[in-house]
Amino acid sequence: MANENLARLVGHAFGDGSVHKKKAYFIYTNSNAKLHENVNQLIESQFGVVSQNRGTSISGTPRTQFSNKVGKKIVNLGAPMGSKVLQETKVPIWILNGSNKIKRAFLAALFDDEGNFRNDKNSRQIVFKSAKVISKQKNLEKYLGQLTKMLNEFGIKTSKIKKDQVKKRRDGKQIVSLRFWITGRKNFLAFKEIIPLRHPDKSRNLNEMASAG
């Protein structure tokens, strides 16, 4: 049965997590030890102790590979399998139509991974950016639109979705990134009160942003 912990895990699969396309391992890659600890606790709460392999990515970022028992389950719950940049993605219906707790858990995991909490005196913003191959730009717009709609339902106002940049990868594929942002003390306060972040640095930045305005 779907619950908040599974909503968080699916959120991480849309963020810094991934499910191996062929072997269905769930892999989490993030530089923050607290988030690794939290993901491990989420998995234990749902699956018990599962096999895992710790290492680093090519860029040196800590990563943990968990049993395909985890990957298969969250794919069944709507998590993408394989490269998210190369395929269409959408927020699973059970999350879109779920309880507020389900939605909050999903958004929290996603912003823990992908949100940029910019606590600059001259530019305080929560920025969310995502990228896909340019042929999937329309899908990317719809996906980010799902996220902004969920945030707006909680009274957190967002900007319109804007094109960020287009880059060419070494393999020749063109990658487009889109973004939206959140500004203003009222929105920062709402985000702080509603979305249960677990990234310590981002939580601290948000607290300061909500106090400063």
With a cut of 70, which residues of the chain have pLDDT below it? 213
Residues in the chain: 213
pLDDT tens per residue, range 102-132: 999 999 999 999 999 999 988 899 999 999 9
* Mean pLDDT score across all residues of the chain: 96
100-212 has the same fold as 4-82: yes
Domain 4-82 has CATH 3.10.28.10: yes
Q: Which CATH number, 3.90.1300.10, 3.40.50.970, 3.40.190.10, 3.10.28.10, labels domain 100-212?
A: 3.10.28.10
Looking at residue 176, its pLDDT comes to 97
Residues of the chain above pLDDT 90, percent:
92
What distance, in Å, lies between the first and last C-alpha atoms of the chain? 40
Looking at residue 213, its pLDDT comes to 59
Alpha helices, DSSP H, located in 84-123: 93-96, 100-114
Task: Name the residue with tokens 């930045």.
Answer: 205
Residues 70 and 22: their CA atoms lie apart, in Å, by 14
Contact 131, 177 (CB under 8 A): yes
Domain positions in the chain: 4-82, 100-212
Looking at residue 170, its pLDDT comes to 86
